[in-house]
């Protein structure tokens, strides 16, 4: 079983739509969680951290369910510029390797006019 699993999509949605991505992780000791965004032929960039209480940044809402080992990202009022690959990322606890990012395979989102 992969350490971090995502639905690869692709998700094709019209502008203005609400879309949700899910991610599961296998290591119950995982400590920190993030969503990264990767544009075509570009490097990954941090979109937002994910906290147990849930957090929101504008049109983006991230939630964490530790009991189910599940992370989600909700995008409201989708824009054309939201088209990208969204990577679920986990950091596991553990000594000097803390800080190592483990990535899911990514979910492709295409927003069309």
Partner 1 sequence: EAGVAQSPRYKIIEKRQSVAFWCNPISGHATLYWYQQILGQGPKLLIQFQNNGVVDDSQLPKDRFSAERLKGVDSTLKIQPAKLEDSAVYLCASSLALGRYYGYTFGSGTRLTVV
Residues engaged in binding partner 1 (CB under 8 A)? 4, 8, 32, 41-46, 87, 91, 96-106
- Pick between residue 17 and residue 108 the one whose CB is nearest to partner 1: 108
Shortest Cβ distance from residue 77 to partner 1 (Å)?
Answer: 27
- Pick between residue 18 and residue 52 the one whose CB is nearest to partner 1: 52
Evaluate whether 42 touches 104 at the Cβ level (below 8 Å): no
Query: Helix, strand, coil: what percent of the chain each, to 5?
Result: 5, 55, 40
- Pick between residue 86 and residue 111 the one whose CB is nearest to partner 1: 86
- Pick between residue 45 and residue 59 the one whose CB is nearest to partner 1: 45
Shortest Cβ distance from residue 96 to partner 1 (Å)?
Answer: 5
Alpha-carbon span 109 to 80, nearest angstrom: 10
Shortest Cβ distance from residue 4 to partner 1 (Å)?
Answer: 8
Cα pseudo-dihedral 44, 79, 13, 87, rounded to 10:
20
Alpha-carbon span 71 to 63, nearest angstrom: 6
């Amino acid at each position: 079983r992969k350490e971090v699993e995502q639905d690869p999509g692709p998700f094709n949605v019209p502008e203005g739509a609400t879309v949700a991505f899910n991610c599961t992780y296998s290591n119950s000791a995982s400590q920190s969680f993030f969503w990264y965004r990767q544009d075509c032929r570009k490097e990954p960039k941090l979109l937002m951290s994910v906290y147990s209480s849930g957090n929101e940044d504008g049109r983006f809402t991230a939630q964490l369910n530790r009991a189910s080992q599940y992370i989600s990202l909700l995008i409201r009022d989708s824009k054309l510029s939201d088209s990208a690959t969204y990577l679920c990322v986990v950091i596991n606890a553990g000594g000097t390797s803390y800080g190592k990012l483990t990535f899911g395979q990514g979910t492709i989102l295409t927003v069309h006019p």
